[in-house]
Structure formats: C-alpha cells, structure tokens
Structure 1
Amino acid sequence: MKSKNKLLTIMLIILVSITLVGVIALLIIFQLNKGEEVKGQTIDEIIESSVDIPEITTNLATNKFIRISLKVQMDSPEAGEELTKRDFQVKNIVITELSEMTPEDLEGKQGKTMFQATLKTKIDELMDDGEVQQVYITSYIIQ
C-alpha cells in the first residue's frame, strides 16, 4: 500500500512538473510572438499619419495667454485624413481645455504629459475610424 501511495505521489509530481513546463513554454512563445507583431512605425509612416494643428493663441484661466502648436499622430493615414477634416473640433477641444488651466498646470514634464493625455482621450472620442497614437507639442509659449 505504501508503494502505491509513493507511486501516486511521484506520478502527481511528474504531472505537475510537465504542466508547469508547458505553461512556461506557452508564455514564452506568446511573449515572443507579441514582440514580433508590434513593429515600430517608420518615421515616414508616422509623418504620413500625422496631422499638424497650427498655432493656437488663447487665454488661460489666469490673465496669461498661451501660444501652442501641436502634431497629432494617428494610427493610419485614413484616420489622419478624418482628423484633418475635424481640425475645427480639435481646435475647440484645445481651446476649451486650455481655458480651464493655469500656467502652473502646464509646468514641467508632468503638466505637459497630462495635457497631452487629456487631448488624446478627447480627440479619440471624436474619431469614427482610427485612434490617436500620440499628441506632440511642437511649439509652446506662455506670456
């Protein structure tokens, strides 16, 4: 009876070990495939799917004003074309968001990153097709 229990324990340990090795192998394979699928866009592809938002001058929540230019990178050239048609809506979003902000809200890397993230979310809500990959601040002056 003891030898049957030992044999059963050994078989269970072997079965668990094989299962664990299989799960680890599958995770590694999925991670490798994921890395291959996510190819970075070339600079030409980024430019082709990006839209320039010309300089906007508007008041901040304080007595100061801001002059800002943006570039919005979309996930495809088609999405870029749609965004170009929606430029007046994007300008409205930028002006509305900035009107609620103070110069301190835009200070430093964190302030600009938060502003870019907000714009990305708001612009994504406008889009029928495609999505925003990144919002770049290309020019920025507060006076």
Structure 2
Amino acid sequence: MSKDKAKEAEAPEEGVDGEAPAKKKPKMMVLIIAGVAALAVLGGGGAGAYFMFLKPKPAGEHAEEAKDKKKDKKEKKGEHGAKDGKAEAGAPVVKEGPDGVVFYTLPDIIVNMQTADGKATFLKLKLTLELPNEELAEELTPEMPRMNDMFQTFLREMRPEDLSGSQGSYQLRMEILRRVNLLVAPHKVNAVLIEEMLIH
C-alpha cells in the first residue's frame, strides 16, 4: 500500500464540503464570546467598585461629610436632651437664655423624705441648672444617671422642716449647686433654680 493511500485510510472521513471541522468552529466562537463577556462584566464590576469605594473624594465632599456627621451627632444628642421646651419623658430640656447662658431643666425629682413620726412624705422638685454654655449641657446629659443618684441619696436624708421658709430653699439650692459642681468638675454650673417644690 502506498503512503498516500495509508494517509487517506487514517484520516477521518469528512462529510460533504468538510462539515465536521465547521461544527468545531462554532463551539470555539461561543467559548471565546462567553470569555470576553465574562471579562467585560468582571472589569465593569471592578471599575464600579473602584469609583464607588476607593476613588479619593474631592475636598468639597469631605466638608459635606463632616457637616453630615456633625448633624447626626446633634440629632443623637437630641435623643438625650430635648430643646426649645419639647421634652421626652425623663429627658432634660435645654433652652437658650440671655447673655449666652443655657437653662438646663431636669426631669421632675420625686423622693420619699424622712419624718420624725414615720409618716410617708414625698418631695417633688423641678430644678433648672443655669449653665455658662451649650457645650456643658451636652456633657451634662450623659451624667444624668449619676445626678439622679446624687439627688436621691441627698434628698432622702432631708426632713420637711429642713426646707421650711426662704432660708431652707436657699440652703437646698446651695447644697445642690455644690454637689452638681463636684460632679461636673472642672466645669462649673452658674446656679440652681428651683422652679417647683412640693411636699406631700
């Protein structure tokens, strides 16, 4: 058998007009197109991620973000202390006063007082602290649990006769002022104002 005839016998039979190789070419084209599409999707996603998360922001955007953070911080502080007389239950009310002072009205304080005869007697106090600035009001709000504890401990030891007359009210204000200033040191509260004092 000649070499040419041997090659023809080994070679696979081609269909009419060479159909077998044509079937292989479309499969290769589909794979190439799918690969290019996958690269385009991955490249587009990577570019999108870069522009959204990694690209440096212009200077103006940093200033806006700082303002937004400051605003969020103030709103969170508003959860602790209400302003302009609109108070949530148990939250202090902060109002601006004359000459830059700030009035910080505490939630009502109710304590059971000691009496000589053992009769149940309650003291209800509504106090306002006069503060030198709003920054102190912002620092004072997180201290509310400590202040409440101080008021409860101190006022429970008082007797109704300790509060009688203007001298009793004056001494009460001075003692509360001294104790609050110890709590907020090195800052200083200007004055304690008694808005309401009831003994039941």
What TM-score range do you get, normalising by the shorter chain?
0.5 to 0.7
Decide which of 47, 56, 60 is 2:109's aligned counterpart: 56
CA RMSD of aligned residues (A): 1.9
Paired residues for 1:1-143 under 5 Å: 43=98, 45-46=100-101, 49-62=102-115, 63-143=120-200
- The runs of 5 or more residues in structure 2 that have no matched partner are 1-96
Q: TM-score, normalised by structure 2?
A: 0.47
Moved runs in structure 1, 4+ residues, more than 4 A?
none
The separation in 1 between residues aligned to 2:133 and 2:187, in whole angstroms, is 7
With the length of structure 1 as denominator, give the TM-score of the two structures: 0.64
**How many angstroms apart in 2 are the aligned matches of 1:58 and 1:134?**
22
Please state how far the C-alpha of 1:44 moved relative to its aligned partner: 6.2
Unpaired runs of 5+ residues, structure 1, are 1-41
1:130 and 1:74 map into 2 onto residues whose CA distance is 10
Residue 50 (structure 1) shift:
2.3
* Bigger radius of gyration: 2
TM-fit CA distance, 1:129: 4.4
**Equivalent pairs: percent with the same residue?**
28
